Structure 1
Amino acid sequence: MESIAFKMKKHISGKGRGVLLFPDDFRQFGSSDAVRLALHRMEKEGYIRRIAQGIYVRPKISKYVGEVIPTAEEIAKAIAKRDKIRLVPTGVYAMSALGLSTQVPMKLVFLTDGAPREIKLGKRTIKLKKTTPKNLSAKGEISGLVIQALREIGQQQLTAKEERKIIALLKEENKKHLLYDIALAPVWIQKVMKKALDHE
């Protein structure tokens, strides 16, 4: 009879390298304790890598740098998909996603409708902060990020250069989404966002 670990390995190799693996992915193979034990053994063998508590990967291999581990952003997206929750990047991370900051944040902070928690990934951290449905209801990817980035920058600190960049980015947004999202923003942010409509 095939062991749980053997069945799990077959399942993992079928997924290909670089795909994030969670214990729940292997529920059909045995009890949660048996699955965790098999994952622990595979990690010890070097077949998979544990990148955070309850998150594993069979890394892609690059001939230049060796093992390639998924980014913190990819891990956050995988957690959102697994838990069926919404995530909205905020703070410095929202600014860096829009190219308004060159700083690579060590802590990625997301607003979520899921459980608040912190996930440690080596030196980096993913922090999920529980928020109201209104803060998660932005329809546009760019306009949603802009609202969070402007909140981080602050009304008094916003430079003319940053504002020009934001307006240029918002022009790429789906107009229906932009109009919807403007209504969700604080008044001073609405004024900035409406400039993307005036410039057409």
Structure 2
Amino acid sequence: MMNTERAIEKSIKSKPKGTLFFPEDFREYGSGVAVRKALQRLKEYGTIKSLAQGIYVRPKINPLIGEVLPTADEVAQAIAKRDKIRIVPTGTYALNALGLSTQVPMKLVFLTDGAPREIKLGKRSIKLKKTTPKNLAAKGSISALVIQALREIGKDHLSTAEKFRIIELLKSENPRHLKHDMDLAPVWIRQIMEKAL
């Protein structure tokens, strides 16, 4: 048991502070039970902090503001990588990520091809919503966000300023990706995207 704990601690300390960990990352060091017990003890010692069930971080300390924890987005990306699933931000979060809204939602909603679920991170949460492959087929990171952000705003509520901002953002997207992604968007969104080419 002690060997499992020591091996896990050594592995964690070899990674930069702020790194996220899952029990699955330490399969090679012992059984599932041994790994969970070791992580529980390392949490008690303060070596790691639990963010949610089965999600840990090696805390990063800022001399001015104290403990700096990973953002909900970083946690979502780490879960996607672990589970080998695709995720796309939706709604208010897509608007925020594009700089079209200053509102930071307490619940981050992502479309996914993985299992639907909700992960609580203190006061915030990550919701993974099952969707069709088409909704995850976008190749461009900006165009994928734009499609979701425009769906959130709605055709009749889009301001001229927002429209111009979106076209400007899309100009920095890879043109090949943009052309590919336009075919996935509803007609009214496609017409906006075309203006960026």
TM-score by length of 2: 0.97
1:22-171 alignment, distance < 5 Å: 22-171=22-171
Q: Provide the rounded CA distance (Å) in 1 between the counterparts of 2:6 and 2:16.
A: 16
Q: Deviations over 1:83-130 (max 9, x none)?
A: 111010110000000000000111111001111110000011100001
1:15 lines up with 2:12 in the alignment:
no
1:119 aligned counterpart, secondary structure: strand
Which aligned segments of 4 or more residues in structure 1 are displaced greater than 6 angstroms? none
Q: Find the aligned partners of 1:118 and 1:159 in 2 and give their Cα distance.
A: 32
Distance in 2 of aligned mates of 1:2 and 1:167: 57
Partner Cα distance (1:143, 1:155) in 2: 17
- Note the C-alpha offset of 1:37: 1.0
CA deviation after TM superposition for structure 1 residue 147, in Å: 0.3
CA distance in 2, matches of 1:56, 1:38: 12
Gaps of 5+ in 1: none
Q: CA deviation at 1:192?
A: 1.3
- The percentage of counterpart residues that share the same residue type is 66
TM-score, normalised relative to structure 1: 0.96
Structure 1 residue 2, shift from structure 2 partner: 5.2
Q: Deviation of residue 61 (structure 1)?
A: 1.3
Paired residue for 2:192? 192
The alpha carbon displacement at 1:3 in A equals 2.3
The residue identity in structure 1 corresponding to 2:143 is S
| CA distance in 1 between partners of 2:67 and 2:192 (Å) | 43
Please tell me the residue identity of whatever aligns with 1:133: P
Any stretches of 5+ residues in structure 2 without a counterpart? none
Q: How does 1:169-188 map to 2 (within 5 A)?
A: 169-188=169-188
Report the AA paired with residue 24 of structure 1: E
* Corresponding residue SS for 2:74: helix
Q: Give the total of aligned pairs.
A: 197
